Chain A
C-alpha cells in the first residue's frame, strides 16, 4: 500500500494550514505525536492545532538537530540549545506552549532552563509582567493612563 519512503515520513499540518514533511523519528520526539502514531490513529497528515507554521518550523528544526546529533558531542548540542531558545519573549512563550502541548521533553527542558536564566536576577515587578501575562500588564498601564487623564481633567 504505502511505500517505505512514505512509511518513514509524516506530514504535520499547522493551525494555519501549512504542511511540513518530516521523518517519523523526528516527529515522534513529540510524545503526543508518538502516541498517535503508536495507536495508529494518525493518517498521513497529522494536524497540529494551536501551533502556527512559524512556531512549528522552529520545533521541527530543534527536533531535527537533536535527532541528527545523537552521536555528536553533548557540549555542541548544549550550545545549539542555548542559541535556539534565545528568542524574543513572545516567540519563547509560544514555543513553550507548543512544546508543552505536544510534549517535547528536550525542547521544554531547554526552554524552561532559558527562562530560568533570564528571570534569575530580575525584580518582582518584572516577573509580574512576564508571568502574569500581558493582560494584567495592560490593565495596569491603562489604569495608570486613566488616572493621569482623570487628574488632568479635574485640575
Chain B
C-alpha cells in the first residue's frame, strides 16, 4: 500500500517537472495565507507538493511572516533544560496550560550529554554549548558551539573561537543575540563570547552572516560571570549580571547587538529593600521586558521589578507587581513567566509547577531532574547559511 502511494507520488513528480506552468487552483496570495497558518511539521512535508510550494516555503519573506504569525502568547512553548543523574536533557512543553506531556528533544550531538548548556533560544533557533572534554578542569577549554533549529532538524557547528583561554584562572560566558536590519530587511544571529582573566576582559562576536568570530573592543568591563550563559535574552538582546563586590547592589549589562556594545543598567539595591531576609532573585523576560523577580522564602507573594524611564532621561528600577499568593508550593522560586502570563515555579525539592495568577491555581509539570532552567521557544523555519541536516538514527 505504501509502495503504491510512493509510486503515484513519483508519477506526479514526473508530471510536475515536465509541465512547469500548471495552474494552482487558488491565487498565490491565498496559498501564502493558508501555508502561513500551518505548523512547521506540515510545511516540511508539503515542500514536495510542487516546485511553487518548495520555493514559497524556503522564501525568507514567507519564513519571517510564518514566524510572526506563530509568535503569539498561546503558541509560544517552553524548553526546559535539566540534569538527571549526570545527563543534561532538553524538554519541550508545547503549551504549559494544556495537559500535554513534555517532549524530549534529541540534539545533533546527543552522545555528549554530560556538559550541555543551552545558551539561549531566539526565533526557533537554539544556541547550545557542548563540552567535549570530560575532565572538569578542561571542560570549557574544549567546547563546541552549535546553532540548532529543532523543528527543521537543521544545525550548524560554529567555527572555533579566536580568543585563546590562558592557563590559570578564567571566567567564560556566552550570549546569543538577534538583530534585524530594517534597511536591508535581513536578520543576523550573533553569539557573544566573553573571556575574563587577570582582571582583563576580552569579547568576541560570531555573526551568522559573516560566519566568523571577530574581537570587539570593550572599555572598562569588569566581568566575571559564574554562569556559562547569559542570564536572559529579551527582544534579541542578551543580559548579564555584573559583579559589584562593594555593596549588595546588583548590576546588569545588556549587549546591543546592532552596535556591538555593552549597555549598563542601573543597579538594584536589595539590602535596603529586603532587610533581614534572604532573597532569591532572577532576571527574566517578562512579556518582552527585562524584569527582576524577587522571592523571599516563606512569603507566598513575589515581587516583579522593572526598569522605568523617567522624564529626565534617567531610568531606574521600580516595583511593578506583587504577585501571589502561590499556595501549595513550599519555598518556591520563579523560573520563568510564559508569554501568556503563567508563571513557572520550582519548589525547594526542584519540582516544577505552573502557577496561574488569574485564578491562583497551581499545576504539576511532569519533568523530573535538578538544575532547571526554562526558555521561551517558538517553532519556526528560520535557518542560517551553512545549516545541515541532523542525523536522526538516535531518535526512537
Which residues of A are in contact with B by a Cβ distance under 8 Å? 93, 96-97, 100, 108, 112-113, 115-116, 119-121, 123-125, 127-128, 130-136, 139-140
Cβ–Cβ contact A134 & B8, under 8 A = no
Taking CB atoms and an 8 Å cut-off, the chain B residues in 1-58 that contact chain A are 5, 8-9, 11-12, 15, 22-27, 29-31, 33-35, 37-39, 42, 45-46, 48-50, 53
Cβ–Cβ contact A112 & B30, under 8 A = yes
Cβ–Cβ contact A131 & B33, under 8 A = no
A113-B123 Cα distance, complex, nearest whole Å: 23
Cβ–Cβ contact A131 & B12, under 8 A = no
Cβ–Cβ contact A120 & B39, under 8 A = yes
Question: For residue A137, which residue of chain B has the nearest CB?
Answer: B25
Cβ–Cβ contact B48 & A136, under 8 A = no
B313 to nearest A CB, angstroms? 41
Q: Which residues of B contact A93 (CB under 8 A)?
A: 25-26
Pick the residue among B23, B29, B34 that contacts A135 (CB under 8 A).
Answer: B23
Q: Which residues of B contact A131 (CB under 8 A)?
A: 24-26, 31, 49-50, 53
A131-B22 Cα distance, complex, nearest whole Å: 11
B296 to nearest A CB, angstroms? 39
Q: Which residues of B contact A133 (CB under 8 A)?
A: 23-25
Beyond A119-B34, A120-B38, is A125–B27 a contact (Cβ under 8 Å)?
no
Beyond A116-B37, A127-B49, is A132–B5 a contact (Cβ under 8 Å)?
no
Q: Which residues of A contact B49 (CB under 8 A)?
A: 124, 127-128, 131-132
In order of increasing CB-CB distance, the 3 nearest A-B pairs are A133-B25, A116-B37, A112-B33
Cβ–Cβ contact A121 & B42, under 8 A = yes
Cβ–Cβ contact A132 & B42, under 8 A = no
Pick the residue among B22, B29, B46 that contacts A132 (CB under 8 A).
Answer: B22
B290 to nearest A CB, angstroms? 32
A143-B171 Cα distance, complex, nearest whole Å: 69
Task: Given contacts A119-B38, A139-B15, list 4 more A-B pairs with CB under 8 A.
Answer: A100-B27, A116-B37, A135-B23, A136-B22
Beyond A112-B34, A116-B38, A120-B42, is A128–B5 a contact (Cβ under 8 Å)?
no
Which residues of B are in contact with A by a Cβ distance under 8 Å? 5, 8-9, 11-12, 15, 22-27, 29-31, 33-35, 37-39, 42, 45-46, 48-50, 53
A98 to nearest B CB, angstroms? 12
Cβ–Cβ contact A124 & B9, under 8 A = yes
12 contacts between A and B (CB under 8 A): A96-B30, A97-B27, A100-B29, A100-B30, A116-B34, A120-B42, A124-B46, A127-B53, A131-B31, A132-B23, A132-B49, A136-B15
Pick the residue among A100, A120, A125 that contacts B12 (CB under 8 A).
Answer: A125
Q: Which residues of A contact B37 (CB under 8 A)?
A: 112-113, 116
Question: For residue B11, which residue of chain A has the nearest CB?
Answer: A140
A130-B46 Cα distance, complex, nearest whole Å: 12
Beyond A133-B25, A140-B15, is A127–B46 a contact (Cβ under 8 Å)?
yes
B232 to nearest A CB, angstroms? 33
A151 to nearest B CB, angstroms? 15
Q: Which residues of A contact B15 (CB under 8 A)?
A: 136, 139-140
B151 to nearest A CB, angstroms? 15
Cβ–Cβ contact B30 & A132, under 8 A = no
Q: Which residues of B contact A115 (CB under 8 A)?
A: 34
A128-B50 Cα distance, complex, nearest whole Å: 8
Q: Which residues of A contact B39 (CB under 8 A)?
A: 120
A30 to nearest B CB, angstroms? 16
A57-B35 Cα distance, complex, nearest whole Å: 28
A140-B18 Cα distance, complex, nearest whole Å: 13
Q: Which residues of A contact B33 (CB under 8 A)?
A: 108, 112
A113-B22 Cα distance, complex, nearest whole Å: 25
Question: For residue B45, which residue of chain A has the nearest CB?
Answer: A124
Q: Which residues of A contact B38 (CB under 8 A)?
A: 116, 119-120
Q: Which residues of B contact A120 (CB under 8 A)?
A: 38-39, 42
Pick the residue among A96, A125, A136 that contacts B8 (CB under 8 A).
Answer: A125
